[in-house]
Amino acid sequence: MTRYQALKVIAERMTNEVCIVSLGGIVDEWHNIRPEPQGNSMYLMCLGCHMPLAFGVAVGLPNRNVICLETDGSALMNLGILATLGNEAPKNLKIFCFDNEIYECIGGPITHTSGNVDLASMARGAGIEEARTIRTEGELREATDEALSDEKTHFIVSKIEPGVEEGIPRKKFDGIEDKYYFVRYLESSEKITIIPPSQHN
């Protein structure tokens, strides 16, 4: 299973969820599957920050599912967040960690998951009961349907083949634009104010 195939499985099952998206090849692939600017995806180009941000959004939007599209390399940079998620157990946070066992965007050095490290087992040890590793599209469909329909934290590790989807358009928006698209989308869909209008005297 490629990452692109896995992302399509998840996208097909989404309704009004918001997404926090990791970095690397996943950016262009997710943008191709769910083109922006529609605002419901926040792309964060910083290793180790995706699950913490997704946790914060999930706490702030308790009645809406929040999906985190994570990678093995990024998850390994901040394993402490698993302990927080295990204790806080946000019922609306659904984490999909795509594990190709390499740092692909910097040339392919291996990550620890190419050895004995099992991210799903680590998540369970931290208290996230709904943690599993899947390897096929069928398993991912089942896991996604379950995650999006119940009120539990999910941590789903998808073992994927290395490589990026060829021939798809590049995402052109930068991080600043992404932030404002995301904030304005949340303001509109949730009927809230996050960034108030400028005050002129």
Contacts of 183 (CB under 8 A, 6+ apart): 194, 195
Task: Please give the Cα distance from 173 to 159 (Å, whole number).
Answer: 29
Q: Using alpha carbons, select from 98, 132, 71 the residue that is nearest to residue 5.
A: 98
Residue by residue, pLDDT tens for the chain (201 residues) are 999 999 999 999 999 999 999 999 999 999 999 876 567 899 998 899 999 999 999 999 999 999 999 999 999 999 999 999 999 999 999 999 999 999 988 888 999 999 999 999 999 999 999 999 999 999 999 999 999 999 999 999 999 999 989 899 888 888 888 899 999 999 999 999 999 888 665
Q: Which amino acid is at 27?
A: V
